[in-house]
Structure 1
Amino acid sequence: MKTNDIINLLHNAIEAENMGKKISQKKMAETCGISMRTYQEWRLGSSAPMAIPVVFNMLGMLNDADIVRLVRKINDGQKGAV
């Protein structure tokens, strides 16, 4: 799977979690701490964050429960850093 496909799947999943409410690329970019242009390029596939394939390969080595636990831990750490 291409990186932009992963970004688009994640964007759509986040919208679905938000009761189907559309989330603009600008808002998503702000939430991710990147420029809107960078986010647009990721979604189009003209540019990609190099770490994503590595991160997903590493996550693929874990069982589902460990993935959920790890993502929650990362999210908790992000909230504390703000």
Structure 2
Amino acid sequence: MQINDLFNILHNSIESQNNGKKISLKDMALSLGISMRTYQDWKLGRAKPQAASAVIRMLGRLEDAEIIRAVRKINRLED
């Protein structure tokens, strides 16, 4: 699996959680605090952010319940 596949899966999952409402690349990039061009490059596989790849591999080593706990902790850091 390529990193762009992961970004596409996550983007689609966020749209599904939003009752299937499409989210533009611009809006997703804005919510992530990056440029639309950067996000587009990630989704198309033209750029491969090393940190994102490492984070995904780390999450992949966790059981589902632990992933949820870790993501909730991360979300609290954003507040």
TM-score band by shorter chain is over 0.9
Alignment of 1:13-24 (within 5 A): 13-24=13-24
Give the count of matched residue pairs: 79
Aligned residue for 2:31?
31
What's the TM-score once normalised by structure 1's chain length?
0.91
Q: Secondary structure at the match of 2:47?
A: coil
Output the aligned Cα RMSD. 0.8
Aligned residue for 2:52?
52
Task: Give the C-alpha shift of residue 64 in structure 1.
Answer: 1.1
Which AA in structure 2 matches 1:59?
L
Unaligned runs of 5+ in 2: none
Task: Give the C-alpha shift of residue 49 in structure 1.
Answer: 1.1
Task: Give the C-alpha shift of residue 71 in structure 1.
Answer: 0.2
Task: Give the C-alpha shift of residue 76 in structure 1.
Answer: 1.4
Which AA in structure 1 matches 2:31?
T
Unaligned runs of 5+ in 1: none
Tell me, in whole angstroms, the C-alpha distance in 1 between the residues paired with 2:4 and 2:57.
16
Please list every run of at least 4 consecutive aligned residues from structure 1 whose deviation after the TM superposition is greater than 6 angstroms.
none
What's the TM-score once normalised by structure 2's chain length?
0.94
Identical counterparts, % of pairs = 57
